[in-house]
């Protein structure tokens, strides 16, 4: 009973800032505006099971932490526009933030311009990527790229993936959700669930991860 009560409280807390997502069927985006994507898209929730935690250790092995989503240590992902991205490519940054969104999630759409602006302000050892869950079922993939271009986002956007990415997708409950991972794909802080102040929340998570890695904060 206490478990169900806790889940209900969590659902209420993110209702205004996130959208539910089902891991087995990805939504078809609605078309509106020049990019075919509207901030007024559906914000309904759909809860899925996510009872497993991921354990990881600090770099010195001194403590074990539990996170609500799995690490991304082994995967191959497709990139919007062509190409692939694997765990080996994570070596390009100390910490990578992966913003998981869909074109039918209103909060995801509304925060993208702010996310794009923030990404450009980061030092070279930090970066932001996105993962669009419904990119491969969109009537026209160019609509998504046009939307990202209009927002000013110039980073990598993933469209699908196997291995640990599929495991993460199976446990995902809401969009937007952002995971912060080190160069090996290990989570360095608890994922961010729901939209909000990008600069404040992302900076806090980046700094938490940088401290764990023994790096200078921003």
- Please give the CATH number for the structural domain made up of 2-212: 3.40.30.10
- In the predicted model, is pLDDT for residue 73 greater than 70? yes
User: How far is Cα of residue 217 from the mean position of the Cα atoms in its chain?
Assistant: 21
140 pLDDT tier (thresholds 50, 70, 90): low
Q: Model confidence at 26, in pLDDT bands (50, 70, 90)?
A: very low
Q: What is the pLDDT of residue 139?
A: 67
Q: What does the alpha-carbon distance between residue 174 and residue 14 come to, in Å, rounded to a whole number?
A: 8
| Cα 26 from Cα 23, distance rounded (Å) | 7
- What strand order describes the sheet that includes 95-101? 84-86, 76-79, 157-161, 126-132, 95-101, 177-182, 192-193
pLDDT for 23 beyond 70: no
Closest CA to 189 of 214, 167, 211: 211
Q: Compute the distance between CA of residue 117 and CA of residue 114 in angstroms, rounded to an integer.
A: 5
**pLDDT in the model for residue 151:** 97
Is the pLDDT score of 27 beyond 80? no
Q: Is the dihedral of CA 12, 17, 19, 20 positive or negative?
A: negative
Q: What pLDDT was estimated at residue 179?
A: 98
The model's pTM is 0.78
In sequence order, the 6+-apart residues with CB closer than 8 A to the CB of 218 are: 122, 123, 126, 203, 206, 207, 210
Query: Does 136 score more than 80 pLDDT?
Result: yes
- What pLDDT was estimated at residue 20? 73
Contacts 24+ apart (CB under 8 A), 85-89: 85/156, 85/158, 87/164, 87/184, 87/185
Q: Is residue 138 pLDDT above 90, yes or no?
A: no
pLDDT confidence of 106, banded at 50, 70, 90?
very high
Q: Is pLDDT above 90 for 191?
A: yes
pLDDT of res. 137? 86
pLDDT tens by residue, 141-175:
679 999 999 999 999 999 999 999 999 999 999 99
Least confident range of 41-55, 133-147, 194-208:
41-55
Distances (CA, A) of 53 to 65, 76, 123: 9, 22, 30
């Amino acid at each position: 009973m206490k478990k169900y009560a806790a889940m209900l409280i969590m659902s209420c807390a993110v209702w205004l800032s996130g959208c539910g997502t089902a891991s087995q069927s990805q939504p078809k985006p609605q078309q509106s505006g020049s990019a075919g994507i509207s901030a007024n898209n559906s914000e309904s929730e759909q809860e899925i099971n996510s009872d497993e935690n991921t354990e990881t250790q600090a770099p010195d092995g001194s403590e074990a932490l539990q996170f609500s989503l799995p690490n991304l240590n082994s995967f191959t992902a497709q990139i919007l526009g062509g190409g692939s991205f694997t765990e080996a490519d994570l070596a390009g940054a100390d910490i990578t933030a992966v913003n998981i969104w869909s074109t039918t999630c209103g909060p995801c759409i509304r925060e993208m311009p702010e996310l794009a602006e923030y990404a450009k302000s980061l030092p070279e050892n930090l970066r932001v990527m996105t993962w669009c869950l419904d990119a491969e079922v969109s009537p026209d993939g160019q609509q998504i790229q046009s939307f990202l271009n209009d927002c000013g986002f110039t980073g990598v956007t993933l469209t699908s993936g196997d291995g640990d990415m599929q495991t993460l997708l199976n446990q995902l409950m809401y969009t937007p959700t952002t995971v912060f991972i080190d160069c090996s794909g290990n989570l360095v802080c608890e994922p961010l669930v729901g939209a909000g102040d990008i600069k404040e929340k992302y900076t806090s998570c980046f700094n938490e991860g940088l401290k764990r890695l023994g790096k200078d904060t921003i």
